[in-house]
Chain A
Amino acid sequence: MADYSRDEVLAKVRGGEKLARADLRGLDLSKAVLDKVDFRRADLEGANLEGAKLKGANLANANLVEAYLKDADLRDAKLDKADLEGANLERANLEGADLKRASLEGATLTEANLSRALVVNASLEMADMGGAKLEGATLSHAEMSEAYLGAAKAKGADLSNADLSRANLEEADLTEANLTEADLSEAKGPGANFTKACLQRANVSQAVLAGANLTGADLRGADFTRADLHGAKLTGAKVFGATFSEANLDEIELEFIDASTDGDGTRRITGDAALEMLRSGRPSAEVPGRRYFGKGDVMRNAALEFGDNSFVEIESRFEKCSIALGAGTELVVGDAGVLQSCTIEGAGNIIIHGRFLEEKSPGIVGPKRLIVSSRGAIQATVHQPEGHTQFAFEPGSRLRLNIVRPDDEKGR
């Protein structure tokens, strides 16, 4: 039983009273004018808020499970950490709303307007977002597995690190969207538009992207293993380090691809050669300067020097090796790769999915970038170069790092 009737709620709102923590379960507040009202932690489970005016309202931590918010005006509303599981937000206007860490599992957001909304770390599993407007929205780290995003308008949206596994993206507009390190495995996106989108290091394995438009998209380091790209448009795509093993590339539209390490168009491959490069499974395999050290191999006491802008991938075991990296060179220690008692020196980018275990300090000197993935482990002293190293560590990475700043003489 709710604390108040509809009339009592409206009277309190007119009197400027707060409704924080109020029990308003199942109340009919349809079409009510509730702009900027304080509903923090209120219990609105099953409430009818159809067409309600809630612009700028504070619904942080509110319980809105199964609430009916169809056509509600929630522009700039605060809904962070709100529980909207199973809520109906069809055609609701959520432009600029704050939905950080909100739970929207199984919610209906068909044709809702989420432009510029902040949906970071929100839970949207199995949500229906068909036709929703997501232009300029921030959905990084959002959990969106099995969500329906058919015909969603997500131009320029930030979906970096989002979990879109098994999501439906058919005919969605993801032009210039940021999908860096997103999980799109087994997603279905026939006819989706990824023109100039960034999918760097995204997991697109087993996704169905038949007829999708990936023109000019940045696919560097992405995994398209067993993806269905039948009839997809890939002209101008940046493919360095991407994997297309066993992908269906039949009838793809491809005038040229960009195989440069930096995606700056300096290594353009055209026509049949481009197609062959993709069909090889690993486009970077054909790039001059690419080195691959396969699983099962062991290398000891070797001195290796890689020139500028090379791509080096190690799935082997290296022991007591010294590795020199030229400027712009990318060294990827794969999942099976182990660098035991080795040293790496030079202004390259180092990505560790496997292990780097130092014996003699410093193990790593002067890297431009050091990334340790969630599967990676590193035990090392890192001497930064002038201008510092760009570090990135994914949750789950195991680190024993001694970081030394560039001008520190004591650490040398």
Chain B
Amino acid sequence: MADLKSGEKQTLVEEGTQFKGSLTSTCPVVVRGKVEGEIATPSLTISETGAVHGKAKIGTVVSMGDIAGEFDADTVQLSGSVRDNTVIRAKTLEVKLSTEEGKMEVVFGNAKLSVGDEPEDA
């Protein structure tokens, strides 16, 4: 989470903080606590302790935490967990394999992923 110290203006929902409602920001948003509701921001980072449950319209999402709901984004990087009834729509998605054998980088519940152009039978 070194980005948090880089001096860029950003909105921080700190660990132990729970936010309910609608959050719109032109700054990057960093969530270490919990957000329930709607988020619109160019950049959303969810730390290992963070959770976002709700609807999000975002440019870039980097999630290491817990997500649920509907996420519309350009770019998504996922680790952590994806709860039931989650829909992710994105232009690109990156999920890496864990470097530790047998360990999950992402644990998916029931989720729908719609990423990039429609797969077609050429």
B23 located at the interface, meaning its Cβ lies under 8 Å from any Cβ of chain A in the complex: no
Set of chain B residues within 8 Å of A297, measured between Cβ atoms: none
A30 located at the interface, meaning its Cβ lies under 8 Å from any Cβ of chain B in the complex: no
Q: Would you list which residues of chain B between 75 and 122 have a CB under 8 Å from chain A?
A: 75, 82, 84, 92-99, 104-122
Closest-CB distance, A42 to chain B (whole angstroms)? 10
Contact status B116-A388, CB under 8 Å: no
Chain B interface size band reads: 35 or more
State A78–B122 Cα separation when bound (angstroms): 48
Q: Would you list which residues of chain A between 90 and 120 have a CB under 8 Å from chain B?
A: 98, 100, 118
Set of chain B residues within 8 Å of A41, measured between Cβ atoms: 7
State A394–B104 Cα separation when bound (angstroms): 16
State A394–B108 Cα separation when bound (angstroms): 17
State A392–B99 Cα separation when bound (angstroms): 12
Identify the closest chain B residue to A384 (Cβ).
Answer: B108
A397 located at the interface, meaning its Cβ lies under 8 Å from any Cβ of chain B in the complex: yes
* Other-chain residue from B107, B109, B112, B120 in contact with A401 (beta carbon distance below 8 A): B112
* Other-chain residue from B2, B99, B104, B105 in contact with A118 (beta carbon distance below 8 A): B2
- CB within 8 Å for A61 and B105 given contacts A392-B96, A395-B93: no
Contact status B121-A60, CB under 8 Å: no
Contact status A405-B109, CB under 8 Å: yes
Contact status A80-B97, CB under 8 Å: no
Contact status A178-B92, CB under 8 Å: no
**Using an 8 Å CB-CB cutoff, how does the interface string of A149-163 with B read, 1 for contact, 0 for none?**
000000000001000
Q: Would you list which residues of chain A between 356 and 409 have a CB under 8 Å from chain B?
A: 357, 369, 371, 377-379, 384, 388-405, 408
State A371–B96 Cα separation when bound (angstroms): 9
Identify the closest chain A residue to B75 (Cβ).
Answer: A395
* 27 intermolecular pairs with C-beta atoms under 8 Å apart: A38-B7, A40-B7, A58-B6, A58-B7, A60-B8, A61-B6, A61-B7, A80-B2, A178-B99, A377-B119, A379-B118, A391-B106, A392-B97, A392-B105, A393-B94, A396-B92, A398-B117, A399-B93, A399-B114, A399-B115, A402-B111, A402-B112, A403-B109, A403-B110, A403-B111, A403-B112, A405-B84
Binding site for A on B (CB under 8 A): 2-3, 5-8, 75, 82, 84, 92-99, 104-122
